[in-house]
Structure 1
Amino acid sequence: MPVDNWLHGRFARCQPGGMTEFAEISDVTQAELPVPRRPRVLAGVAVLRRRTGELQIGIEPDHATVLSGLSPTVERAMHRLTGAHTVADLLGTSPEPQEHDELAKVLRQLDKRGLVEDATDHPRPTARLAADVTSSVLNGLTGAHVPDLRAHATIEVHGNGRLAIAVACLLAAAGVGRVHPIAGGVVVPEDVGTGYLESDVGRPRRTAAREAIERVEPCAVTRPLRRPTLVVLADSAVPRPDVVTKLSRAKVPHLLVRVHERTGVVGPLVVPGRSSCLHCADLRRTELDPCWPSVAAQLAGQTRPADLACAQAVAALAAAQALRFVAWRPPQSPPPVWNGSIELDPFESTTLARDWPPHPACPCGAHLREENLDR
C-alpha cells in the first residue's frame, strides 16, 4: 500500500473550509466549544509540514491529525503553539476575520482530540514528566492531574531481586512521591544491574535499595509513612501466603510481578473484594493441575533469578500498570491486569494476555461484583 494512501486512510483529517473529515461534530457544537486562550501543543507532539497548506499534528496514526487547506497565516501560527501566545498574538497584524475563524476552528478540534491544551488552565509540567502527561492524555486519562496523583501516592515494593529494585526506581523516577522498598538479606552479584551497584554487593538490601531510589529521585520518600496506595509483590513466583493474607484483610491493592525462567509475568492486580485475588488464581490453577498446591508451597517466597533484559522489560511493564492504577478513576477502564496477567518473552518478542476471573468458590466475593460479571 502506498504511504500516502496509508496515511490518508489512518489519520484524522481537517479541512477548515468544511471540517467534514475531522471529528464528526456539528457546526452548532463547534460554536459551543471554547477556543483555548493560550493554545499549546502537548509536549512531545510533533507539528510537521507535509506540503503547502497542510500540516500533520502527531506521528502515531491513532492520534495524528492532518490539517489541510490552511492559509499561510494560520499555517505559520500552528508552529507557534507554545502557550506563550493568545490567538490574537498568533495571527499578528492580519486583519482578515476569516483567518481568525479558521484558526479558532482548528484549535477547537485539536483541543477536542486532546492534542492541544490551554496553557492558562494547565501549567506546563516539569520537563521530566512532560512526556508522561502527554501519554496519559492520549490514553484517555486526565493528564494535568497525573503529576499530583503520582506525587501523593505511596507504593511499597517487596522483593529481594532485580525486579523489585527496577520497579522501585522506575516508580520514583516517574514521580511517585513515596516508594518504600521492603527487602531482606544482603545484595548478591546476581542482583546487580537494575538499580543495585557492584559496590552494593554484601551490603544490606534495604539500605542499598533506598540509596538506589534516591539516586534516581532525591526527593522521593523511601521510609514507610502511611497506608500504601499499592503494594508490588516482586521476584517470587509465588508470594508468601502470610503477606498476601495480611494485604487482603487490610483491603490493600497489590500487584504480582515475577519471572518464570525466561518469561516475565505481570498481574493479576488485586483490589480486594473487587477484582480476582491470588487465591482465585490458585483455585483456577488447581482445577487445571491438582498438584499445584504442592508446587506453590515449594515456590512461596523464593526469589527467582531474572536475566537483565527480561528484568528491565518486565519492570517497565509492571511500573506502567502501577502508574495506570494510581491515575485510574472509574468509569475509566481498569488496567488490563485487572482479573488477568500479561506474560512477556523479550527474546521471542511475544506477549500473552491471560484471564484470571474471580472464582465462585473463593471467599473474597469478587465474583459477585457487577463489573466482573462479563469479564
Structure 2
Amino acid sequence: MPAPPRLRPGVHVVVRDADHVQLGLDPPARVIVARRPEVARVLERLTAGLPPAPTTPEGAAVVRDLAAAGLLVVPETAPTGSVRLVSRGLDLAPLGVLLEDAGLTVTRSDPLPDLYVVATPGPLPRAVVDGWVGEGAPHLVVAGTSRPGGLRVGPLVEPGTTACLRCVDAHEATHDPRRPLLVEQLAALPAAPVDRRVVALATAWAARDAVDFLAGRRPVTWSGTVDLDGPSPVVRTWDRHPHCGCGWDDVPY
C-alpha cells in the first residue's frame, strides 16, 4: 500500500481573509480554501504530519487540489544496498559521504555491489566497464566530455535494459566512424584538469542519481547522460544501439 501524502516541507496554512485560508504563495503552487470544519480538520492533520484522512467530498477535494498544486509529497522509499566507488583520477571521498548520508553502504572492495560508480577526469577506457556489462552489474559512469575540463555524468547502465557506454559511443560515431578509436587513444593520455566546482556539481548529480536508482526510482542518467561543460547542463537520453554487443543476447537465432 502506498504511503499517504504529507504536506510539503515549507508549506504552511496562512489566513487570507475572514473566510479563507491559503497554502502556497503564487499560482500554480497555491490553494485557497474556505474556512469550514472538514477543511480545517484535514489541514490540521496535514500540518501535524498526519495522513489527511478526509471524510467528506469537500475534504477529498482539498486533498486533490493540494496534490495538483504540488503542495503534497509522498514519503520516498529509502535507498538500500552497497555502492562500490572506482576512482581513476577523481576524488570520490565527497561522493562517498553523500551516499553514506543517504543510508547506503560505500565500499571500494565489495565484489558484488548493487551499483558501481567509476569516475575519471578524461575519457574512460571502455574495457573498465565491459566486464560489468557482461556480469549484468549496474554501473554509473562519470567521465570527461569532448570539451576538455568538462564532465559527463552517465550513463547509468542496467545491462540488458539500458544503453551502455558503447551504445553511446555508437550513437556518437554516426557522423564520425573513427571516433571510438580516437576516444580509446585519448583515454591513455593525460586529461585536462577539472574545475573543483564542476567536480562538485558532478558529484552531487551522481549521488542523487545513485540514491534514486537504489531506491527503485529512475534517475536522469538511467540510459542517459548529463554534460557539465557549458553554461547549463545538457541532458540526453540514449537508446540501446542495434550494433552494440550488449544486445547480442537478445538476437533470436
Same fold (TM over 0.5): yes
1:339 corresponds to 2:223: yes
CA–CA distance in structure 2, aligned partners of residues 161 and 362 of structure 1: 28
- Which structure 1 segments of 5+ residues have no match? 1-35, 88-98, 117-133, 138-142, 182-222, 370-375
What is residue 107 of structure 2 aligned with on the other side?
180
Partner secondary structure for residue 34 of structure 2: coil
Q: 2:239 aligns with which of 354, 357, 365?
A: 357
CA–CA distance in structure 1, aligned partners of residues 244 and 50 of structure 2: 57
Measured against aligned partners, the alpha-carbon deviations of 1:286-335 in whole angstroms (never above 9, x if no partner) come to 33324423322233366653211111111112222222212236xxxx43
Amino acid at match of 2:225: S
**In the alignment, is the contact (CA less than 8 A) between 2:31 and 2:66 conserved in 1?**
no
1:169 corresponds to 2:53: no
CA–CA distance in structure 1, aligned partners of residues 66 and 20 of structure 2: 18
CA–CA distance in structure 2, aligned partners of residues 161 and 60 of structure 1: 46
Mapping of residues 63-82 of structure 1, within 5 Å: 64-71=29-36, 74-75=39-40, 78=43, 81-82=47-48
1:157 corresponds to 2:75: no
The structure with more strand, counted as a fraction of residues? 2
**In the alignment, is the contact (CA less than 8 A) between 2:153 and 2:221 conserved in 1?**
yes
CA–CA distance in structure 2, aligned partners of residues 56 and 277 of structure 1: 48
**How many percent of aligned residue pairs carry the same amino acid?**
29
CA–CA distance in structure 2, aligned partners of residues 174 and 60 of structure 1: 32
CA–CA distance in structure 1, aligned partners of residues 120 and 26 of structure 2: 34
Q: 1:300 aligns with which of 168, 183, 187?
A: 187
**Change in 2 beyond 3 A, CA 1:106/1:254:** same
CA–CA distance in structure 1, aligned partners of residues 241 and 6 of structure 2: 48
What is residue 59 of structure 2 aligned with on the other side?
104
1:59 to partner: Cα distance? 6.2
CA–CA distance in structure 2, aligned partners of residues 284 and 305 of structure 1: 27
1:324 corresponds to 2:252: no
Partner secondary structure for residue 231 of structure 1: strand
TM-score, reference length from structure 2:
0.76
Measured on the aligned residues, the alpha-carbon RMSD in Å equals 3.7
CA–CA distance in structure 2, aligned partners of residues 61 and 345 of structure 1: 34
Higher relative contact order (CA 8 A, sep 6+): 2
What is residue 234 of structure 1 aligned with on the other side?
119
What is residue 16 of structure 2 aligned with on the other side?
51
1:236 to partner: Cα distance? 4.2
1:40 to partner: Cα distance? 5.0
**Change in 2 beyond 3 A, CA 1:57/1:158:** farther
CA–CA distance in structure 2, aligned partners of residues 240 and 47 of structure 1: 51
1:115 to partner: Cα distance? 4.9
CA–CA distance in structure 1, aligned partners of residues 222 and 26 of structure 2: 26
Mapping of residues 1-375 of structure 1, within 5 Å: 41-42=7-8, 44-49=9-14, 51-52=16-17, 53-58=19-24, 64-71=29-36, 74-75=39-40, 78=43, 81-83=47-49, 101=56, 104-105=59-60, 108-109=63-64, 115=71, 134=73, 137=74, 143-144=75-76, 146-147=77-78, 150=79, 152-162=80-90, 164-176=92-104, 178-181=105-108, 224=110, 227-260=112-145, 261-300=148-187, 305-328=193-216, 334-345=218-229, 348=231, 350-365=232-247
The alignment covers a number of residue pairs equal to: 242
Higher alpha-carbon Rg: 1
CA–CA distance in structure 1, aligned partners of residues 25 and 120 of structure 2: 37
The structure with more helix, counted as a fraction of residues? 1
